[in-house]
Amino acid sequence: MKLSEMRETLERRDIQLTRSLGQNFLHDGHQLEKIVATAELVLADKVLEIGPGLGPLTELLLAKAGKVLAIEKDGRLVEVLQERFTAFAPPKFELMHADALEYLKHEPRDWRDWKLVANLPYSVASPILVELACGVRAPKMLVVTLQLEVAQRLMAATDDDDYGVLTLLVQLDFEPRGLFKIPPGCFYPSPDVDSACVQLVRREVPLLPEELRKNFVRLVKLSFSQRRKMMLKLLKQDWPKERLAAAFGELNISVQERAEKLSLEQFVALTKILVS
C-alpha cells in the first residue's frame, strides 16, 4: 500500500489519525518486506498481528502465512480492513475489533504455535510484550516494530545503559536475534521518535521453572527500583540481609553490586537460591 493510497483512503473516509492510539502507519514497501522476511514465514505458520491499521503488513502476511489473526482497536480502521480483505475468510484471516492489551489479559489462548508480527502501537508496546511474551503460552517468535528506545531495551546486554526490567522479563523466555532501524519518513504521519524492528525467538529450554516466575519478576523489579542503589539494600524489603549475603556469596556476587551488573543467568540463579 503506497503512501498516496493511504492518504487517499484516509481522506475519502474523513479519518483523522489519533496520536493517543499510536497511529503511525508504515508504508515503505522495502521495510515491510524486510519485516516479513525477518519473520521467516511458511504456509504452516499462524500469525498474530496487533494494530494492522490500513493493512499494508497484513497483505504481505496473508501471502506468506497460513493464518492471520489481526486485532485492531479503531473501529474506523476495522471497516477499512473488512472491505480490503473481503476475499479472505476464517480460518485464513480473522479480524478482531478489540483493545489488544485487554484481550491478551483475558484471553486464555495458547500462542505457542504462533508468531507475533506487528507494528505495535508505541503507547502500549511494552505492556503488550510483557503480557504476551512472558509465560508458557508465549509465541515462538516475536518480530515487532516499535520505538527505538524500547527496541534497544529488548536487545540489551548486561551493563548496557538500556539494560533493565523489560530486558530481563522478555529475555527470560526469548533470545534476541537482531534489530534494524526504520527511519521516521517510512511512516505516515512521521513519528517524532526513531523506530526499529526486532526479532526475538522463544528459548527451547526454559531458564526457570514456571512456578518461580513471580519470584523472578519481584526480584528483578525490586533490584531496579532504584538503579543507583546496591541491590542487597533494595532486596532487604523481601529477604533477610543474612540470607541475601549468603546467596550473593554463593554466586560470587559482591554485596555492593548494582542490578545492571548482573546477567540474566545470575538473576535466574539468585531466584532459585532465594526461594529454595
pLDDT value of position 21: 77
For 204, half-sphere exposure in the C-beta direction (CA atoms, 13 angstrom radius) is: 0
Nearest to 122 by CA among 18, 35, 226, 33: 18
How far is Cα 120 from Cα 26, in angstroms, rounded to an integer?
11
**CATH code at 210-274:** 1.10.8.100
66 Cβ neighbours under 8 A, 6+ residues apart: 43, 44, 45, 46, 92
* Torsion of Cα atoms, 211 then 267 then 175 then 44, to 10°: 0
Q: Consecutive 10-residue runs of the chain (276 residues): their mean pLDDT?
A: 92 88 91 98 98 97 98 96 96 97 91 97 93 94 97 97 97 97 96 96 96 97 96 96 96 97 98 94
Domain spans of the chain, in order of start = 3-202, 210-274
pLDDT digits (tens, 9 = 90+) for 35-72: 999 999 999 999 999 999 999 999 999 999 999 999 99
Q: Which amino acid is at 89?
A: A
pLDDT value of position 23: 87
**Run of H or E residues at 264:** helix 264-274
Q: How far is CA 127 from the centre of its chain?
A: 8
Which of these CATH numbers, 3.40.50.80, 3.40.50.150, 3.90.230.10, 3.65.10.10, describes 3-202? 3.40.50.150
**Run of H or E residues at 196:** strand 195-202
Positive/negative CA dihedral, 151, 155, 159, 160:
negative
Are residues 271 and 208 in contact, defined by beta-carbon separation less than 8 angstroms?
Answer: yes
